[in-house]
Amino acid sequence: MQATIIGAGIIGLCSAYYLQKEGVEVTVIERGDISDGCSFGNMGYMSPSHFMPLASPGIIAEGFKHILTFYK
């Protein structure tokens, strides 16, 4: 089996590492050097439910607060 991963950020490299450990032939494509990219915003998705239990009191209001807060 073969896999191609686009992006050599932390997610891409970790994915490549674990796929290779399972015997997959992996090619990683990166437009620059491995250390040039940004990994703080990878995967383009963040949900408050991933770091706070949904059963927490006020979680819906907290979620809206996080959605409306811009990264500075």
* Overall pTM surpassing 0.95 (yes/no): no
Q: What are phi and psi of 50, to 5 degrees?
A: -80, -15
Range of the domain at 61: 43-72
CA proximity to 11, closest of 30, 56, 1, 22: 30
What total of structural domains would you count in the chain?
2
CB 29 within 8 A of CB 15: no
Q: Are residues 5 and 17 in the same domain?
A: yes
Give the pLDDT confidence of 21-67 residue by residue, as tens digits.
999 999 999 988 876 766 655 555 556 556 656 666 777 787 777 77
| C-beta neighbour count of 37 within 10 angstroms | 15
Mean pLDDT, rounded, for 6-22: 91
The residue type of 29 is I
pLDDT in the model for residue 3: 96
Token pair 């979620």 in the structure block, residue = 63
Q: Are residues 49 and 33 in the same domain?
A: no
Q: Are residues 28 and 53 in the same domain?
A: no
Q: Are residues 30 and 49 in the same domain?
A: no
